[in-house]
Chains A and B, each alone.
Chain A
Amino acid sequence: DAKTTQPTSMDCAEGRAANLPCNHSTISGNEYVYWYRQIHSQGPQYIIHGLKNNETNEMASLIITEDRKSSTLILPHATLRDTAVYYCIARRGGSQGNLIFGKGTKLSVKP
């Protein structure tokens, strides 16, 4: 699975959009981009995933660049409860196995 690079930490004002970038310049054609988050002391939580097209669900939007070398997770209206570590993971399609977690981005949403 391709390596991903994320900023160590980011701040966001409550109510504003949080845009979390991820670089995956070595991603291969059959690797999906996944986002999970871990709120303090809890188990990781799935947010969203995509292959080529932009995706949106009730939690977030995922924007993947046309060359697929980077992506951005967007939380449209961040709340204090969105404070967490966000993990961007590249995962091969057809794989039956583990997620490889990096260090992630610590997002702090401030009032």
Chain B
Amino acid sequence: DTAVSQTPKYLVTQMGNDKSIKCEQNLGHDTMYWYKQDSKKFLKIMFSYNNKELIINETVPNRFSPKSPDKAHLNLHINSLELGDSAVYFCASSRYSGTGTDTQYFGPGTRLTVL
């Protein structure tokens, strides 16, 4: 069983389109994240949700809207896609420990290409 899964694995789309990436974890974790890895391989946090509530929202355009229907899912919807949105998007999850020692488990990534 895959612990953190993402769909789709690859997404190719035209500029201006709206697309969604789905993430699911079956680890019983209460915190989920979205990270973006650009072409230079820098990995940066975008959002973090704990128990379906947004706790981190880095400087991300409001075209990006995360949605957490339940603790096991955190989907990423992107409106009006731009060329600069091309990247690999990773979902991750963890169980909040209160001590900062929680381990994050990452999904396999979704490679988004905007043409």
Q: CA of A6 to CA of B58 in the docked complex: distance in angstroms?
A: 25
The residues of A that contact B48 with a CB separation of less than 8 Å are 96-98
Nearest CB in chain B: distance from A66 CB, A: 21
B43 touches A44 (CB 8 A): yes
Which of B4, B50, B96, B100 has a CB less than 8 Å from the CB of A93?
B100
Enumerate chain B interface residues (CB-CB to A < 8 A): 4, 31, 33, 35, 41-45, 48, 50, 55-56, 58, 90, 92, 96, 98-101, 103-109
Given contacts A97-B55, A99-B45, contact A46 B107 (CB under 8 A): no
> Contact residues of A with B, CB < 8 Å?
30, 32, 38, 41-46, 49, 85, 87, 91-101, 103
In the assembled complex, the Cα of A93 lies from the Cα of B98 at a distance in Å of 8
B45 touching A95, Cβ below 8 Å: no
Tell me the dominant secondary structure on chain A's binding face: loop
Q: Is the CB of A43 within 8 A of B106?
A: yes
- The number of residue pairs between A and B whose CB atoms lie closer than 8 Å in the complex comes to 61
List of A residues within 8 angstroms of B92 by Cβ: 43-44
Measured CB to CB, the nearest residue on chain A to B107 is A43
Interchain CB contact under 8 A, A93 and B56 = no
| B106 and A44 form a contact (CB under 8 A) | yes
Residue of B nearest to A1 (CB): B100
Cα of A73 to Cα of B56 in the assembled complex, Å: 29
Pick from B42, B44, B56: contact of A97, CB under 8 Å:
B56
* Residues of chain A contacted by B35 (CB below 8 angstroms): 98
Excluding A87-B43, A93-B101, 17 further A-B contacts by CB distance (< 8 Å) are A32-B100, A38-B43, A41-B109, A42-B109, A44-B90, A44-B92, A44-B104, A45-B106, A91-B100, A94-B98, A96-B31, A97-B56, A98-B35, A98-B45, A101-B42, A101-B44, A103-B41
**Roughly how many angstroms separate A69 CA and B105 CA in the complex, as a whole number?**
27
Report the bound CA distance from A32 to B103 in whole Å: 12
Q: How far is the CA of A87 from the CA of B99 in the complex (A)?
A: 21
Q: Which of B43, B58, B100 meets A94, CB within 8 Å?
A: B100
**Residues in B neighbouring A85, C-beta threshold 8 A:** 41
Q: Is the CB of A96 within 8 A of B96?
A: yes
